[in-house]
DNA sequence: CTGAAAGCGCTTACAG
DNA sequence: CTGAAAGCGCTTACAG
């Protein structure tokens, strides 16, 4: 009942041990008709005893499916490390894939064009059965390529029509919740320190923010950044230097919000008495600091899992809706937001 | 010059287009002897024009190598997301692998036993050429399995003999730097809020900490945790409640250090006037807070890259040393460490 | 230096 | 329900 010395255990070994043909083993293990239930059970038992598993490459070659899904991330290494978003997303994706015995091939690249090159190579090599796409940018070359290359794909969190199946966010709704929260507290001038405007979700949050603020009678400002702590400090300092400074600022990630908190704190600006702060994408980090940050929370893991499940469905030939809503956002109100101070005076000199 | 309709482009198409045999194409593309340089050049050109790439599964099956390396992480999803360590490590690994055209298969599991199950499956399926191992625990089942399964592996950051090639850290040296720094500032009682004691590197840092403190004439304390912010707050509160409270605390990750900073700050304890804080594994987070945290910095990306390079060398049959030093640690002194306050009095009531 | 052929380990029509 | 055989797309001895 052991493999021949030096060799790999193959389907032939299992067939021999079970006293059936190799095709019977294949049918039995893959849950296909063509074998009696008695034979199927015996084959499964024998395979288990021997510890045989179908050779991945052989199966891929004959079945024309790899059992692997690809994820290419086009963000700087520092961003990937600092924002828990990506690891949470990967965790969610992986959990779903693992459940179905599918592997995750991960590659990190510099930009969307490099991303397309990876897709092109993977498609030519038959390396993956499909890919998961995130961080769609304006004029993103990926959707068009993926449609043309016949490489199945699901876009995560994209807000615009990409012509690909998508798990869509509810950013617009979430932006409204944030603005309403600030309006109810009595804020009149609110600002948004946003991420890189090339990202579609950033652009759409920007527009939603301005629209929601105006319709609530507030005066909005938007400052674009590159998602880094340094850019956040600079943007925040710029906002606070104005005569008509905002009394509340919404940041596009947790790192920028926390960096701003520390920076304004060091200048004697009190949060939330002098300035209210909101972070987008709640994280452990937001609860780590003092005061804890009010934040827009999403179940990123669920987003990843949902996208993975959809891709697997797509690969198994199921009909899938083009758009499916992702996990809902909700505002987690903590201590960093409160009613604005009495007047334009700001800082420790006040009171 | 195009593939036949509906079909995949194969080596036969390239051979036909170049007017040679398929074996000549294979030799030419793989840089093997057996073709003239003129033929090789023409084949490469034709393959490029057609956009042909060897089919991954076919190559794996015949060449008995997958061009893929595996990484299994056995940590809770929250830890993976919160600590930038993992994404930095993956970034470093991936950069090195990508350069050599090797893929990274990533899987997340609950514990070391589940990790072994994945290795077992991968080995049986011929899914990867080798694996990278991190977070070695006491009585870790993985090294023994990997040696037995003939699955090539390199251990990252392990400090003990695992019988596998390792990229080793310099934790002992780093601990000494931290302790010396605190001793020079005049601290007498120092504590270490360490991670889960099951991890070998944690255990070894614990021992090194106690030894270094004693030999410097200091009084050390060690409190084990599970690496979470909550455990850090509890451990820190416990330390500060003692009569002979420490005047400096070293935390085993950035999240715990930042959580403790916020917690003691909320209680009126000033950092560094009343309490000095040190974080292990510097990160963006450590520079985000106020005061910025003194921290032990390592080039995690370089660690990942080095381990990946070693594994690739191992796979290509090169002789590799069993132990190779990883990137050196160094102490980054910032504002969270200073000389201890004048007496046992602590908190806002003082002075 | 080149070509025809076997073989990697599966899956899947196809005939019994 | 079962078995013999072709085929997936490469690599690699082996004979010319």
Q: What is the mean pLDDT of residues B17-21?
A: 90
Bond from prior residue into B3 cis (ω within 30 degrees of 0)? no
What single string gives the DSSP state of each residue in B30-70?
Answer: TT-SSS-HHHHHHHHHHHHHHT----HHHHHHHHT--SEEE
Examine the pLDDT at B237 and tell me if it is beyond 90: yes
In the stretch 291-320 of chain B, residues with CB closer than 8 A to chain A read 301
- Touching check for A166 and chain B: CB below 8 Å? no
Q: Do B285 and B308 lie in a common domain?
A: no
Q: Do B25 and B102 lie in a common domain?
A: no
How confident is the prediction for chain A on average, in pLDDT? 91
pLDDT of residue B287: 93
- Touching check for A114 and chain B: CB below 8 Å? no
Examine the pLDDT at A346 and tell me if it is beyond 60: no
Tens digit of each residue's pLDDT (9 = 90 or more) over B175-204: 999 999 999 999 999 999 999 999 999 999
Q: Do A201 and A278 lie in a common domain?
A: yes
Q: What percent of chain A has pLDDT over 90?
A: 77
> Is A65 in contact with A315 (CB distance < 8 Å)?
yes
pLDDT of residue B8: 84
- In angstroms, the CA A228 to CA A263 distance is 13
B55 CB neighbours strand D below 7 A: yes
Confidence band, pLDDT 50/70/90 cuts, at residue A215:
very high
Examine the pLDDT at B6 and tell me if it is beyond 70: no
- In angstroms, the CA A167 to CA B13 distance is 39
pLDDT of residue B317: 85
pLDDT of residue A351: 34
Q: What is the mean pLDDT of residues B309-317?
A: 93
Phi/psi at B266 (nearest 5 deg)?
-65, -25
pLDDT of residue B34: 80
Residue nearest C4, CA–C1′ metric: B21
B270 CB neighbours strand D below 7 A: no
Tokens of B262: 């916020």
Q: Do A285 and A177 lie in a common domain?
A: yes
- Mapped onto helix, strand or coil, the DSSP state of residue A278 is strand
Q: Do A131 and A178 lie in a common domain?
A: no
* Lowest-pLDDT range of A53-57, A148-152, B89-93, B131-135: A148-152
Residue nearest D8, CA–C1′ metric: A62
Q: Do A162 and A106 lie in a common domain?
A: yes
- Touching check for A102 and chain B: CB below 8 Å? no
**Residue B346 maps to a domain:** no
Q: What percent of chain B has pLDDT over 90?
A: 76
Confidence band, pLDDT 50/70/90 cuts, at residue A322:
confident
> Is B244 in contact with B271 (CB distance < 8 Å)?
no
Considering all nucleic acid strands, name the nucleotide whose C1' atom is nearest to the C-alpha of residue A22: D3
Residue with the larger pLDDT of the pair A296 and A242:
A296
- In angstroms, the CA A128 to CA B157 distance is 31
- From the CA of B316, how many Å to the C1' of C10? 26
Inter-chain CB proximity B107 and A98 less than 8 Å: yes
Q: What is the mean pLDDT of residues B314-343?
A: 90
* Lowest-pLDDT range of A94-108, A247-261, B331-345: B331-345
Question: Domain containing B91 — which CATH number?
Answer: 3.40.50.2300
Tens digit of each residue's pLDDT (9 = 90 or more) over B249-258: 999 999 999 9
Interface probe, candidates A2, A81, A291, chain B, greatest B C-beta count within 10 A: A81
Confidence band, pLDDT 50/70/90 cuts, at residue A321:
confident
Residues 7-36, chain B, CB closer than 7 Å to nucleic strand D: 7-12, 22-23, 25-27, 29-30, 32, 34
Total domain count, chain B: 3
Q: Do B194 and B115 lie in a common domain?
A: no
**Residue B347 maps to a domain:** no
**Residue A336 maps to a domain:** no
Residue nearest C13, CA–C1′ metric: A23
What single string gives the DSSP state of each residue in A45-80?
Answer: HHHHHHT----HHHHHHHHS--SEEEEEE-S-HHHH
Confidence band, pLDDT 50/70/90 cuts, at residue B344:
very low
Q: What is the mean pLDDT of residues A242-248?
A: 93
Q: Do A159 and A177 lie in a common domain?
A: no
Name residue A344's beta-bridge partners.
Answer: none
Positions in chain D where some atom is under 7 Å from a protein CB? 1-5, 7-14
pLDDT of residue B36: 86
Q: Do strands A294-297 and A330-332 pair parallel, antiparallel, or not at all (unpaired)?
A: antiparallel
* Lowest-pLDDT range of A34-48, A108-122, A182-196, B83-97: A34-48
Examine the pLDDT at B331 and tell me if it is beyond 80: yes
- Touching check for A86 and chain B: CB below 8 Å? yes
- Touching check for A54 and chain B: CB below 8 Å? yes
pLDDT of residue A134: 95
**Residue A43 maps to a domain:** yes
Examine the pLDDT at B2 and tell me if it is beyond 60: no
**Domain encompassing residue A38:** 11-54
pLDDT of residue B229: 95
Question: Domain containing A39 — which CATH number?
Answer: 1.10.260.40
Tens digit of each residue's pLDDT (9 = 90 or more) over B40-59: 999 999 999 999 999 999 99
pLDDT of residue B159: 62
Considering all nucleic acid strands, name the nucleotide whose C1' atom is nearest to the C-alpha of residue A62: D8
**Residue B244 maps to a domain:** yes
**Residue B265 maps to a domain:** yes
Q: What percent of chain B has pLDDT over 70?
A: 94
pLDDT of residue B318: 82
- In angstroms, the CA B347 to CA B241 distance is 12
Name residue B72's beta-bridge partners.
Answer: B107
Confidence band, pLDDT 50/70/90 cuts, at residue B350:
very low
Interface probe, candidates B6, B47, B56, chain A, greatest A C-beta count within 10 A: B56
Considering all nucleic acid strands, name the nucleotide whose C1' atom is nearest to the C-alpha of residue A61: D8
Q: Do B185 and B278 lie in a common domain?
A: yes
**Residue A6 maps to a domain:** no
Q: Do B226 and B144 lie in a common domain?
A: no
Confidence band, pLDDT 50/70/90 cuts, at residue B148:
confident
pLDDT of residue A342: 72
Examine the pLDDT at B67 and tell me if it is beyond 70: yes
Q: Do A278 and A193 lie in a common domain?
A: yes
Q: Do B155 and B175 lie in a common domain?
A: no
Examine the pLDDT at A7 and tell me if it is beyond 80: no
Residue with the larger pLDDT of the pair B276 and A3:
B276
- From the CA of B23, how many Å to the C1' of C11? 25
Tell me how close the Cα of A260 comes to any Cα of chain B, in angstroms. Answer: 8
**Residue A38 maps to a domain:** yes
CB < 7 A from strand C, the residues are: A 7-12, 22-23, 25-27, 29-30, 32, 34, 52, 54-55, 58-59, 61-63; B 20-24, 27, 33-37, 39, 58, 61-62, 64
Contacts A279 to B, Cβ<8 Å: none
pLDDT of residue A345: 44
- In angstroms, the CA A350 to CA A344 distance is 10
Examine the pLDDT at A163 and tell me if it is beyond 90: no
Tell me how close the Cα of B215 comes to any Cα of chain A, in angstroms. Answer: 35
> Is B306 in contact with B168 (CB distance < 8 Å)?
no
Confidence band, pLDDT 50/70/90 cuts, at residue A320:
confident
């Amino acid at each position: 009942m052991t493999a021949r010395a030096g060799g790999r255990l193959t389907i032939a070994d299992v067939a021999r041990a079970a006293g059936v043909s190799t095709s019977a083993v294949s049918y039995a293990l893959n849950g296909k008709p063509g074998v009696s239930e008695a034979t199927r059970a015996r084959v499964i038992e024998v395979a288990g005893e021997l510890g045989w598993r179908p050779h991945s490459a052989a199966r891929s070659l004959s079945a024309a499916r790899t059992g692997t899904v690809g994820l290419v991330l086009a963000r700087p290494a520092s961003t990937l490390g600092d924002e828990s978003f990506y690891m949470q997303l990967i965790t969610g994706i992986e959990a779903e894939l693992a459940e179905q015995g599918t592997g995750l091939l991960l590659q990190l690249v510099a930009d969307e064009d490099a991303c397309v090159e990876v897709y092109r190579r993977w498609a030519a090599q038959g390396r993956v059965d499909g890919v998961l796409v995130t961080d769609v940018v304006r004029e993103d070359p990926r959707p068009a390529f993926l449609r043309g290359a016949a490489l199945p794909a699901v876009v995560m969190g994209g807000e615009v029509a990409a012509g690909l199946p998508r798990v869509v966010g509810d950013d617009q709704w979430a932006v409204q919740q944030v603005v309403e929260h600030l309006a109810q507290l009595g804020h009149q001038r609110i600002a948004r320190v946003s991420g890189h405007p090339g990202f579609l979700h950033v652009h759409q949050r920007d527009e939603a923010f301005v629209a929601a603020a105006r319709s609530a009678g507030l005066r909005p400002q938007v400052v674009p950044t590159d998602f880094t702590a340094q850019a956040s400090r600079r943007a925040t300092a710029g906002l606070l230097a104005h005569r008509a400074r905002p009394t509340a600022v919404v940041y596009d990630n947790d790192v920028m919000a926390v960096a701003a908190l520390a920076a304004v704190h060091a200048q004697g600006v009190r949060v939330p008495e002098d300035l209210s702060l909101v972070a987008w994408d709640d994280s452990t980090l937001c609860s780590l600091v003092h005061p804890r940050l009010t934040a827009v929370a999403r179940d990123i893991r669920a987003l990843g899992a949902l996208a993975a499940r959809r891709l697997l469905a797509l690969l198994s030939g199921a009909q899938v809706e083009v758009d499916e809503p992702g996990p809902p956002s909700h505002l987690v109100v903590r201590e960093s937001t409160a009613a604005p101070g009495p007047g334009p005076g700001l800082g420790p000199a006040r009171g």
